[in-house]
Structure 1
Amino acid sequence: MRKPRRTVRMRFTVLYGALFLLSGVGLLAITNLVGLGGEQVTQSAPGPGQVSTLPAAAEQIALLQAQLAGAHETQARQVLAGSAVALAVMAVVSAILGRIVAGRVLRPLRTITAATRRISADNLHERLAAAGPADEVKDLADTIDGLLERLEGSFAAQRRFVANASHELRTPLATMRASLDVALAKPDPVPAQTTALAGRLRTELDQVDRLLEGFLLLARAEHGALSDRVTLSLGRLLSVALDGHAAGIAAKGLTVHADAVLDTAWTRGNGTLLAQMVGNVIDNAVTHNVHGGWIRLSAGADLTGGTGGTARLVVETGGAVLDREQVERLGRPFQRLGADRTGAGDGSGLGLSIVAAVAAAHGGDLDLRARPEGGLLVIVTLPLAASPVEVGA
């Protein structure tokens, strides 16, 4: 069994409860010491004229002492029993008071924690702006606000750098591609080695161009504001992506199994980004697949979540058994299995990271799993939206 989580509130509850309980124990101990102080009855010497009645007086005194001792013993038992009951009540009261006091002490910290959790990379402009006296809690909130301000500046600088670098690098790439075309278009015969070298350079330039396009798309998905939201069907986006990769599927002899490509999986978002996301999933399934392999596809609605449902896109491929930890890292930029997966080093490692970024930007998630029998399972979940027909109705 898992041990219960030790929280600060639990520790404060124990501390304050112990202090209250010790105070109660001390109070009861002092009360018992004072109240149960032994009352001694001393027998005084007989006065003049009492000698003849001394035996009778002694007998009477003994009887009174016995009665007094019995009453004292009964009183002691009652005081002890009452003390035990009071101690038990104090234990419960101490725990309750300790929890209440701990909650009051930690309330500002819980407020700061909840506000910090709401702030992500998309709303770094928000601040805690904690009110109250200038104490340790406000110093902590102000420190977090300063950290958020520095993070916002860092994210903005990174976004500008990626966008500017990608745009600036396209100009020399276009110049190099045009120079190759001009060199090959000369009327003089071009040596075969030059033609082969030009072909290799053009291939590499195309790869760099795709990499820059991936940078721009990744930066837009991670930090850009989503505009032009429309309602789209994942099933239709999947069909379009399959048509676009028909040549690659045929070249590798892949068998495509469309289990349930339905129009029930509707979601709302940026059409360009969602189309790129689905295209990247299909491109990953085709590129990183074995010759003669298979792809299983499905798109549908999942209404079991209880939060309005989700639109699910599932793409499954066969192949060799993959390492689970390495597969979990494929959603990060420049993470790929390369030759260990398909025997080729194709790809830049941005495809699935773009999928993860686009899904997160739309409030969804990317789940990558290594199939026990071999291959990869890709599950993309997005918030479910009503279809245009339902909206019109």
Structure 2
Amino acid sequence: MGMLRGGTVRRRFTILYAAGFLGSGAVLLALTYLMAGTRVTSVAPGQPRDGGTAPPAAEQRLQDLQRQLAELPAQQNHRLLVGSLIALLVMAGVSLVVGRVLARRVLRPLRLITAATRRISADNLHERLAVDGPVDEVKELADTVDGLLERLEASFAAQRRFVGNASHELRTPLATMRASLDVAVAKPEPAAQTVVLAGRLRTELDRVDHLLDGFLVLARAQHGALPDRAVVPLGDLVAEALDARAAGIAAKALTVEGGGAGLPPVWVRGSAALLSRLVENVVDNAVVHNREGGWIRVATGREDGEARLVVETGGRVLDQGQVDRLGRPFERLGTDRTGSEEGSGLGLSVVAAIVAAHGGRLALLARPEGGLRVTVALPGAAGPDGTGGVTA
């Protein structure tokens, strides 16, 4: 019973089929053995017709024949029993092979459904199993999975449309509030409290605008629409992102290693706008969530046909379980990140969505000595000179 409860379905089916075949064979052999049994009646030696006695030699010969005749059924039963045991052992091996073949054949449609379901993700929910064949339990299961995928596709599409539409619609009242602030401050001799309040409101409006921009990029990346594909130099994007954050780097007295013009030429194909936002978010995350006087290490390279960007930072030792969740929207590490006035919690989730839209991989690793290591792997492309850059 323990073997039936554990293991794979194929193993359980194999054991059940083999047990059925073996049990049937054992019953058949037992019936054959019982029905083949015979009863032999010993016949007393006859008396001579003339009333005399038989010669001693003939009498001995007759007794030997009768003894052999009496032992013959036992010998036949012994041979039949031995042959039955041998046949039962052979049937045991045959039943295991036949059971495994039947189990594989019975489970083949389920394996095909499982493999097709694994290939379907949030990026290709439009695909269906579309199993052909008679209307049986397997087809009903496949149709049920197709119905579930259809509902998921509709739900994901509605979510993306909502995020995109809401982000666009909210920009109008934000622009109105900005204009109202500008009008209030532009009045002759505005009150000091008005100027201070306007400054604070502008800061909050900038944060909301940045958040909405992140929503738009996230919705676009998750939608998978990349109409502006081009060959983009990854090193140039890193240099531009570092230059844009130069003030923040200087304010925290951060040391940057490997950035600037020293990066090797590595090319990727994709949306220039989204790839630029990807690199900006990775660099921005390294700057915003770094400690005073810390360091940032940036490296690019090419390995196994992939273009790679690696950004490392120092700091306290992080929990890998919490780091694994940073690719989700609004996930942060601890109260220091939650209380950050600059972070929105969308940075690395946007990175994860852009990487997925380009068919790449994102790896977030908590460094054993402290800090975070972000590795972005994207399909490499040939540069203008026909090469893909250096090999890491």
Query: TM over 0.5, yes or no?
Result: yes
Q: Distance in 2 between matches of 1:78 and 1:228?
A: 84
Query: Conserved in 2, the CA contact under 8 Å of 1:338 and 1:346?
Result: no
Alignment of 1:137-148 (within 5 A): 137-148=138-149
How big is each residue's C-alpha offset from its partner over 1:310-339, in whole Å with a ceiling of 9 and x where there is no partner? 222111100111122111111100001254
Contact 2:237 2:279 in 1 (8 A): yes
**1:206-249, Cα deviation, whole Å (9 max, x unpaired):** 00000001001111111232222222232222222112211211
CA RMSD of aligned residues (A): 2.5
Partner of 2:161: 160
Structure-2 separation of matches of 1:341 and 1:323 = 14
- Please give the alpha-carbon distance, in whole angstroms, between the structure 1 residues aligned to 2:287 and 2:12: 55
Distance 1:34 1:238 in 2: 89
Distance across 2 between alignment mates of 1:242 and 1:173:
29
Residue in 2 aligned with 1:298? Answer: 299
> Aligned partner of 1:92: which letter?
G
Give 1:324's aligned residue: 320
Aligned mates of 1:340, 1:322 — CA distance in 2: 13
Q: Tell me, what secondary structure is at the counterpart of 2:301?
A: strand
1:162 Cα offset (Å): 0.8
Residue 287, structure 1, aligned to residue 283, structure 2: no
Counterparts of 2:66 and 2:236, CA distance in 1: 103
Displacement of 1:87 in angstroms is: 2.2
Determine if contact 2:362/2:375 at 8 Å carries over to the other structure: yes
User: For structure 1, which runs of at least 5 residues remain unmatched after alignment?
Assistant: 304-308
Residues 254 and 342 (structure 1), Cα distance of their counterparts in 2 relative to 1, 3 Å cut: farther
CA distance in 2, matches of 1:324, 1:367: 11
Contact kept in structure 1, 2:207 and 2:342, CA below 8 Å: no
**Per the alignment, do residues 63 and 267 of structure 1 end up closer, same or farther by CA in structure 2, a change over 3 Å counting?**
farther
What's 2:371 paired with? 375
Q: Which runs of no fewer than 5 residues in structure 2 stay unpaired? A: none
- Between the aligned partners of 1:22 and 1:214, the Cα distance in structure 2 is 67
1:125 to partner: Cα distance: 2.1
Describe the shift of the 1:221–1:343 C-alpha distance in structure 2 as closer, same or farther (beyond 3 A): closer
Structure 2 counterpart of 1:306: none
Which residue of 349, 354, 369 maps to 1:353? 349
The answer for the alignment partner of 2:329 in structure 1 is 333
- Structure 1 residue identity aligned to 2:366: A
Which residues of 2 match residues 1-393 of structure 1 at below 5 A?
A: 6-35=7-36, 37=37, 39-44=39-44, 46-49=46-49, 52-53=53-54, 56-68=57-69, 75-187=76-188, 189-258=189-258, 261-263=263-265, 265-303=266-304, 309-340=305-336, 344-390=340-386
Alpha carbons of 1:26 and 1:388: their partners in 2 closer, same or farther (altered >3 Å)? farther
Change (3 A) 1:62 1:275: farther
User: In structure 1, what is the Cα distance between the partners aligned to 2:64 and 2:48?
Assistant: 23
Aligned residues: 382
Corresponding letter in the other structure for 1:254: L
Answer yes or no: is the 8 Å Cα contact 1:339–1:345 preserved in 2: no
Assess, with a 3 A threshold, how the Cα gap between structure 1 residues 105 and 193 changes in structure 2: closer, same or farther. same
Question: Is residue 338–residue 344 contact of structure 1 (8 Å, CA) maintained in 2?
Answer: no
- Whether the 8 Å CA contact 2:178–2:202 is kept in 1: the answer is yes
Distance in 2 (CA, whole Å) between partners of 1:176 and 1:343 is 25
Rounded to whole Å, the distance in 1 between the matches of 2:76 and 2:382 is: 78
Supply the distance in 1 between the matched residues of 2:62 and 2:274 (Cα, whole angstroms): 105
